[in-house]
């Protein structure tokens, strides 16, 4: 029988009093909380609480009884609290008034979350200011149903899982943002590669988020981050992608990366028509010697000693124009082939010889 099943009593059938005698959760299966729309029941009603549920009886805002899974016959001898709720007799049957909430302790579906605004950060490696957004999912269990109902102020008729964010969403997301920003800055890794640490960040967030949810009578069963991204419309996303690609290239090429890049630059300088005259010729000779030596060094690195013969001694190159030397040094500095201190020392030496 449903909660709307009733018996009728009265003289000659002129009047009828509804006596509800079956109480079950008839809310949508996806609801976390459902309040029974009927508040008048008879002594002897049958309350059925299904697995994974609890039924809470309230009178004038005060919790009277919590019923767990099972079939409960509501009689005063079984539940003495009912004697304080009896308010009338109808057809010789005592009735009582109570507000009944059904709470589903666990949910089968995950609750999705996502940052409501970008997290402002600076890439720990590239030092480029940018922003990130994150999203994921979590699962909960109502661990303390009375506390959970009291946090809802006891006024709701139903409560869906996605409404949870209205109650603690601001604190929830604030904690997530702070932890993600902290992990990014401490990681010393490029932001574009940080998703590989999503599991680690999720684990760090579980403790503070669990503590927050406990204040609402809720237990955090699981929490995960499915994505940490730089928004497509972030103005620095392209810069980060280019820098990230160069870093990955360096990781693949290893020690030979700097040598190959240096040879490319020297080749460009040797072919520069603007060099001109004897200085250009001298630069060309010098570049040829450097390239030959570079190839030999690279061969030794790749194949071991003796894999490539050393080039024959070349005649001394003509004195190079100091301005050209400085120009080449500056290009090597910009390409990351030499350090700033090396460039400054070379610059000082060249200027002292002028």
Whether residues 43 and 154 fall in one domain: no
Distance, CA of 354 to CA of 141 (rounded, Å): 79
- Asked whether residue 190 is domain-assigned, the answer is yes
Total count of domains within the chain? 3
Q: What is the pLDDT of residues 201-254, one digit of tens each?
A: 898 899 999 998 898 899 999 999 998 888 877 777 777 667 666 665 555 555
Does residue 208 contact residue 168 with C-beta atoms inside 8 Å? no
Phi first, then psi: what are they for 139, rounded to 5°?
Answer: -125, 145
Residues 115, 229: one domain? yes
pTM over 0.85: no
Confidence band for 2, pLDDT divided at 50, 70 and 90: very low
Domain ends where: 200, 233, 266? 233
Residue 138, judged by CB atoms within 10 A of its CB (0-12, 13-18, 19+), counts as buried
Q: How far apart are CA 155 and CA 291, in angstroms?
A: 81
239 is a domain residue: no
For 197, residues 6+ apart whose C-beta sits below 8 A from its C-beta are 183, 187, 189
Write the CB contacts of 4 (distance below 8 Å, at least 6 apart in sequence): 20, 38
Instruction: Report CA-CA distances (Å) from 215 to 56, 111, 144, 174, 191.
Output: 19, 18, 10, 16, 33
What separation in angstroms does the CA of 210 have from each of 102, 159, 215, 276?
A: 23, 21, 9, 72
Q: Which of 335, 331, 330, 337 is nearest to 347 (CA)?
A: 330
* 248 within some domain: no
Question: Residue 94 domain-assigned?
Answer: yes
| Range(s) of the domain holding residue 348 | 254-352
* Shared-domain flag, residues 220 and 134: yes
What average pLDDT does the structure give for the chain?
Answer: 75
Q: Which of 152-156, 225-229, 350-354 has the lowest mean pLDDT?
A: 152-156
Which residues are bridge partners to 158 per DSSP? Answer: 34
Any domain includes 244: no
Which of the given ranges, 129-138, 236-245, 290-299, has the highest pLDDT on average?
Answer: 129-138
Comparing CA positions, the residue from 289, 344, 283, 348 lying closest to residue 313 is 289
- CATH number assigned to the domain comprising residue 194: 3.30.479.30
Give alpha helix (H) positions in 195-321: 198-214, 237-253, 256-270, 277-303
Domain boundary among 54, 89, 104: 104
In a domain, 249, yes or no: no
Contact present, 221 and 180 (Cβ < 8 Å): no
Beta bridge partners, 197, equal none
Give 297 or 217, the one with higher predicted confidence. 217
Q: Is the model's pLDDT at 282 over the cut of 80?
A: no
Q: Which of residues 87, 104, 121 is at a domain's end?
A: 104
Q: For residue 183, is it within any domain?
A: yes
Same domain, 209 and 267: no
pLDDT tens profile 18-65 = 556 789 999 988 888 999 998 888 899 999 999 999 999 999 889 999
Q: Quick check: is 241 in a domain?
A: no
């Amino acid at each position: 029988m449903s909660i709307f099943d009733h018996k009728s009593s009265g003289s000659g059938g002129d009047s009828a009093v509804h006596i509800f005698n079956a109480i079950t959760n008839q809310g949508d299966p996806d609801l976390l909380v459902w309040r029974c729309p009927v508040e008048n029941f008879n002594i002897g009603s049958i309350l059925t609480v299904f697995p994974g549920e609890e039924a809470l009886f309230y009178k004038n805002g005060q919790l009277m009884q919590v019923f767990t899974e099972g079939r409960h016959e509501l009689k005063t001898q079984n539940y003495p609290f009912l004697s304080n709720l009896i308010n009338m007799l109808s057809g010789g049957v005592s009735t009582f008034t109570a507000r009944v909430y059904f709470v589903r302790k666990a949910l089968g579906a995950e609750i999705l979350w996502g940052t409501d605004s970008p997290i402002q950060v600076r890439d720990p490696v590239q030092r480029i200011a940018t922003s990130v957004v994150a999203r994921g999912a979590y699962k909960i269990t109502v661990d303390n149903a009375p506390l959970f109902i009291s946090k809802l102020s006891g006024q709701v008729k139903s409560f869906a899982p996605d409404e949870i964010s209205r109650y603690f969403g601001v604190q929830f997301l604030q904690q997530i943002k702070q932890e993600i920003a902290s992990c990014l800055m401490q990681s010393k890794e490029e932001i574009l590669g940080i998703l590989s640490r999503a599991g680690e960040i999720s684990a760090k967030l579980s403790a503070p988020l669990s503590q927050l949810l406990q204040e609402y009578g809720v237990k955090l069963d699981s929490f995960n981050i499915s994505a940490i991204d730089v928004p497509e419309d972030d103005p620095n996303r392209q810069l980060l992608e280019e820098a990230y690609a160069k870093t990955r290239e360096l990781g693949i090429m290893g020690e030979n990366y700097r040598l190959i890049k240096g040879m490319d630059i020297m080749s460009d300088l040797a072919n520069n028509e603007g060099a001109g005259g004897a200085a250009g010729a001298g630069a060309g000779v010098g570049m040829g010697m450097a390239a030959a030596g570079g190839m030999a060094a690279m061969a030794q690195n790749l194949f071991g000693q003796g894999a490539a013969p050393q080039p024959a001694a070349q005649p001394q190159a003509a004195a190079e124009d100091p301005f050209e030397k400085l120009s080449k040094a500056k290009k090597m500095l910009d390409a990351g082939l030499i350090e700033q201190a090396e460039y400054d020392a070379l610059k000082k030496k060249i200027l002292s010889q002028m």
